[in-house]
Structure 1
Amino acid sequence: MSLCDDTLLCNFTKCRTKLSGFAWVTACSHVFCDQHGSGEFSRSPAICPACSSALSGKLDIVRTELSPSEEYKAMVLAGLRPDIVLDICTRALAFWSYQVKYFSLYMYSI
């Protein structure tokens, strides 16, 4: 897996399925398939199954569409200042970098 790969894997230890459609993303930079995210994050308080972080903030867990429409992509950042857009891009790239590292560590451990 490289930073340019467009496939994420579920970070649930016993799953590791390729993600498509919808996924659950956490503030601690983990991502889960819709099935495991729905099950794990329906409990309160929510705990990340990958790192045991408490997820109590309003946006600590987000269910997101992995292939959003062109209309959504055209409007989601519209009106934001360039420095905010660049900050969002930086955070998104950091997430992917973390996932690449996480995948490498997982592959090394099996």
Structure 2
Amino acid sequence: MNRGCIILWLIFGLLAITATFINLYMFGTGKDYKLAMAMGLSFTALTLVADYSMVSNWVKAEDWAALSDVVPTMEKAFWILTSIAILLNITPTLLELKNRK
């Protein structure tokens, strides 16, 4: 089960990054970017949920070494990366609002 969570975490993370770049590309070319934005944010959320499942499995297995090694570092990384993902995904919307004024 833990291997499945790791694979999901990687897949969702890569899909979130890809969707975010598609979002920015579509905005840059003047195309409708809103679906790509929603996908980028959704895959970011799914990445976090997959990681939470992985941590939950470590707790169930009482793998305290894995928890103490990984969780403190991943917490900081997830805060930073999630914040960046949100900012990158909403940038087109903010720029669009700015250009309307």
- With structure 2 as the length reference, what TM-score do the two structures score? 0.39
* Greater fraction of residues in strand: 1
Which of the two has greater helix per residue?
A: 2
Larger Rg: 2
